[in-house]
Structure 1
Amino acid sequence: MTSDQNVSTRGLGTAVVIGASIAGSSAAAALSTRFGEVIVIDRDTLPAEATKRRGVPHSGQFHILSAGGRLDLEAIFPGLTDDLTAVGVPYADPTAVFRYGSKFGWFPRHSSDMRILLGTRRYLEWYLRGRAAKLGNVTYIQRTPAKGLIIEDGRAVGVEVEDLDTKELRVIRADLFVDASGRPSIAPEWFAEAGYAKPVETVINARWGYATTYVRVPEGFDPGWTALYVGPTVSGEGYAATRGASMWRQEDNLMVVTAQGCAGDLPPSDVEGFLDFISSFGSSEFRDLIEQYGRVSGIEAWQNTSNRLRDWSNLKERPENFVVVGDAAAAFNPIYGQGMTVAARGARTLDSSLTGFLQDSAPESGLDGFAERFQKDLQAVIEPSWMFSTTSDYGIPGVEINGVTQESSKSPESEYADRVIALATEDESISLKFMETINMVRSTEWLGDEALRDRVLGDWDRLGSLRRSDVSTNV
């Protein structure tokens, strides 16, 4: 889609992107082929190296870029895979090198055509920002938060910003504005101030929490796997029902080690509490790694894990020339590994929606109508991930919906999906399709296959009774 020597191919003027994270840099690169100038503003000091910054406080937590997300980012930033592997970011077949312990059992390991990149979130964000900045017509302005949206005659025409160094306010005028400011987005307040209705918001909170540290392993370290995941069993007795952990190889011989808890059983950030937590549910590998090689970072806890959807697609009225992407539109429970992929896919949708809109509309209409079209196109991208994440979280005891605690419940569809996952622990072909689905390279349509449904219904009770056991061993 883009290259480092890209120049604008259409005279659409100026676009402003609010936020310099994964979604913002991806959106800026996607827009660079259509707009003569793309300005990315961010309230933070944008570091020259791949380090933590205030605006992305969760960047030290585990993040995974799915196989589909890698392909999406590769389309936006050609050569990304080669660049990252050249600096030591692991490049792996997730079905072959992952030890994946679901609540029903261990998935078989086998080869596939999928490949993922296992870089840290901080490195990936830094890399994308650098790539976008090389495009020639993309400019980053740091320490400049957006304070308000200027709307005239039903169109967004400017964004008021503050220079944090001089404390001066000014207005940046443009032809399109993209809110990529993440979960803290205040766009709904901007709409309300201008007399528009806020988008309907839905929040599903299964009270997950994480705590993460990093270990540096020797160059030749090879335990027989690249990544290990042990998820909570959700049902049953003992800590295994609510606790789990994950770890995988990253660049610079780092291993990210993350404790995970659900239903309010949250991992602590003190050393002894963390070590006790990761060794409490039946698997010794996590504590063993830390005790053998030591930690190279502190332990950071994170509990902002709610699924939150703001429905920008069904507004009856909206200002033209303003769209919302990334976590500002839909934020997912990070346990399911969808956020960065949906951000990248949203940027590609921004490009494809704009291409289709320009083909279908008269030149004199400008971008009138594009905002509604894009948000509907983006909603189609969001919906599968939203359904996957929330359907899974509905089954967690004490799940909250818009702040109200619910009885955990399973729909017939989720009961069926659970049994398919149980079958995947025994059948390599089903395991492959499931892994392709969670890696976002296959839709969920295969779940409706008549032969599969007959097979699951015919073995309903047995599949429903399967549970993972002996998590410390796996072939």
Structure 2
Amino acid sequence: MNHLSRTSRHGAHAVVIGASMGGLVAAAAVAPYFDRVTVLDHDALPTEPAPRRGVPQGRHAHALQPGGLLALEDLLPGITDDLVAGGGRAGDASGNCGWWIGGGTLARGIAGNVVMGITRPYLEHTVRTRIAALPNVTLRDQTDVVAPLGKDGHVRGVAVTPTGGGTADEISADLVIDCSGRVSKLPDWLTGLGLPAPEEERVHCKMSYLTRRWRFANDVMGADVFQVITPDATPHFGVCILQEDGTYIVTLGGLLDGAPAKTDEAYLAFARALSVGRIADALDGAEPVTEFQPSHFPYSRRRRYDRVATHPVGLLALGDSIASFNPMYGQGMSVAALQAVALRDMLRRGPVDPKAYYRKAHGLEDVAWKITTSGDLRFDEVEGKRTPDMKFMNSYLDRLTLAARTDPVLAQQFLRVAGFIDPPTAFFKPSVLMRVFRRNRSAATEATATSAAAA
């Protein structure tokens, strides 16, 4: 039974659709405010850290941004220590990470923000274990949700069937949260309830990539937890992350179907062709631990529930069910955790107004959307809407990241915004603008002097 007072209670039962990270953080958010919470999932949930069919990205590199890790800690106090206790490799977002962004490496420093080197199955298992231990939460796997139950604008539960077929059942609920991700059927469900479906926005990045875990034979990575090489002149990228078992996961790929072929020779040649050679050097003599794992992500997508005029009472969406981003940027889990914190805070104050919730959820995903899509749309072949403010922001960020190659303060400010610690408005603080201006003026002066000397 919920330990909160009756005035804090919002109902007898909440149902969460999906037991991936979005569903787990949603369960953590609502558990204090309902007598019971049931989390439904299509898969047979593993009892140990293991990839599963419902999380196709589980074999690839994953990252919680510093702000996402803080949000997860807010929802589940002590979870950071739990992750470290099981082998998670904590590091400083600047001091223990190499960031090649905008054609150069950001200056190092001590950001004071934590990143965690872990596999997705280990992260999800650790969080799922904490959620399963909550006395009023039940995880019900191998269950498919057919549709919400409701009429007259009120949702009162869900219709379900066992995965693979069987007798249908109905589960009553005071609140249903759709965390089923990119496969979400919520727009169709809304139409079935006689309500409008949201507008949908897409950016066709055509991201493809190839992942393998390795045991390195050298110490090129040193104390680094992350090495990230983002696209610059070419649409290719590389990510290398230390994992909880001491191996490294390396994901190589690119926009516009730019992944290497599934051979050792092609993979290593791709790494050597990246703008900086740190990952290629680390792979020298490395022993593969897994087979190659390919993946393709055709487009980033968001559904504008914040623009829908009428919402049903008792039905919300969270995480990838609202917006899913190019996974190269590592934003999805962090956005879900931040949205879950926002939902919890609204429940703490009283009944949740869907319009207010979606405005807040949109504000959180919009930061990630602008970061990911503005980067992808730098390449003319990527299909999507280009806006004047996007062009302005890209131009300014080019100047900021150029300055951040030699200015640790600017580098850390960039990482704080990209990591969901600070809002994007922090880029335009007078102190930041002045540092960007001075560093760019200095760089231009040096370039002019070099050209004159060469002449």
Alignment-derived partner of residue 157 in structure 2: 158
Question: 1: distance between equivalents of 2:388 and 2:359?
Answer: 31
Per the alignment, residue 396 of structure 2 pairs with 416
Distance in 1 (alpha carbons) for counterparts of 2:432 and 2:245 = 43
Bigger mean CA offset, 271-280 vs 283-292: 283-292
Alignment of 1:234-245 (within 5 A): 235=233, 241-245=234-238
CA distance in 2, matches of 1:165, 1:411: 48
Instruction: Tell me: CA distance 1:466–1:346, structure 2 relative to 1, closer, same or farther (3 Å).
Output: farther
Partner of 2:107, secondary structure, is: coil
TM-score by length of 2: 0.90
Which of 361, 364, 383 is 1:400 aligned to?
383
Residue 83 of structure 1, CA deviation: 1.1
What is the match of residue 307 of structure 1? 300
1:19-418 matches, cutoff 5 A: 19-164=18-163, 167-217=166-216, 223-233=222-232, 235=233, 241-281=234-274, 283-304=276-297, 306-358=299-351, 370-401=353-384, 411-418=391-398
SS state at 1:161 partner: strand
Task: Give yes or no for contact 1:8–1:35 (8 Å, CA) kept in 2.
Answer: no
Q: Secondary structure at the match of 2:290?
A: coil
1 CA distance for matches of 2:93 and 2:372? 20
Q: What fraction of aligned residue pairs are identical, expressed as a percent?
A: 28
Shift of 1:153: 2.1
Distance 1:192 1:314, change over 3 A: same
3-state secondary structure, aligned to 2:239? strand
Deviation at 1:224, TM superposition (A): 4.6
2-side partners of 1:101 and 1:466: how far apart? Answer: 22
Say whether the 8 Å CA contact 2:417–2:426 is kept in structure 1.
no
Structure-1 separation of matches of 2:434 and 2:19: 48
Post-superposition CA distance 1:120-170 (Å, at most 9, x none): 111111111111010010001111011111122210112111112661111
**Aligned Cα RMSD in Å?**
2.7
2:14–2:38: 8 Å Cα contact kept in structure 1? yes
SS at structure 1 position matched to 2:397 = helix
Deviations 1:102-135 (CA, angstroms, capped at 9, x unpaired): 2331111111211122211111111111110100
1:98/1:225 contact within 8 Å kept: yes
- Unaligned residue ranges in structure 1 (runs of 5+): 236-240, 359-368, 468-475
Contact 2:260 2:267 in 1 (8 A): yes
CA deviation vs aligned residue, 1:392-426 (integer Å, no higher than 9, x gap): 22212311128xxx899961232012211111111
For the residue of structure 2 that corresponds to 1:258, the secondary structure is strand
Q: Residues 214, 220 of structure 1: CA spacing in aligned structure 2 closer, same or farther, 3 A cutoff? A: same
- Find the counterpart in structure 2 of residue 442 from structure 1: 422
- Mapped partners of 2:51, 2:398: distance in 1: 37
Q: CA deviation at 1:87?
A: 1.6
The reply on whether 1:453 has 2:436 as its aligned counterpart is no
- Give the drift of 1:267: 2.9
**Conserved? CA contact 1:209–1:303, under 8 Å:** yes
CA distance in 2, matches of 1:464, 1:59: 44
Q: 1 CA distance for matches of 2:219 and 2:265?
A: 28
Contact in 1 for aligned 2:320/2:332 (Cα 8 Å): yes
- Cα drift, residue 212 of structure 1: 0.7
Contact 1:8–1:36 (8 Å) recurs in 2:
no
CA contact (8 A) 2:240 2:250 kept: yes
Residue 7 of structure 1 and its aligned partner are, at CA, apart by: 3.8
TM-score by length of 1: 0.87
Cα gap change, 1:444 to 1:408, in 2 (>3 Å): closer
What is the alpha-carbon distance in structure 2 between the residues aligned to residue 376 and residue 333 of structure 1?
A: 22
Q: How far, CA to CA, are the matches of 2:444 and 2:296 in structure 1?
A: 31
Q: For the residues of structure 1 that align with 2:343 and 2:399, how far apart are their CA atoms? A: 36
For structure 2, list consecutive stretches of 5 or more residues without a partner in the other structure.
448-455
Change in CA separation of 1:274 and 1:139 when aligned onto 2, cut-off 3 Å: same
| Aligned residue in 2 for 1:16 | 15
User: What secondary structure sits across from 1:55 in the alignment?
Assistant: coil
Equivalent position SS for 1:247: strand
| SS of the residue 1:145 aligns to | strand
- Code of the aligned partner of 1:393: D
SS at match of 1:267: coil
**What SS class does the counterpart of residue 188 from structure 1 fall into?**
helix
Is the CA contact 2:61–2:249 (under 8 Å) kept in the aligned structure 1?
A: yes
Name 2:452's counterpart in structure 1. none
How many residues in Structure 1 have an aligned counterpart in Structure 2? 444
1:312-360 deviation per Cα after TM superposition (whole angstroms, max 9, x unaligned): 11211221100000000011112222111111111111111122234xx
Asked if 2 retains the 8 angstrom alpha-carbon contact of 1:398 and 1:407, the reply is no
Inter-partner Cα distance in structure 2 for 1:324 and 1:96: 36
Higher helix share: 2
Change (3 A) 1:230 1:159: same
Match of 1:471 in 2: none
TM superposition shift of 1:205:
2.1
Distance 1:416 1:343 in 2: 28
Separation of aligned partners in 2, 1:290 and 1:454: 40
Change in 2 beyond 3 A, CA 1:409/1:269: farther
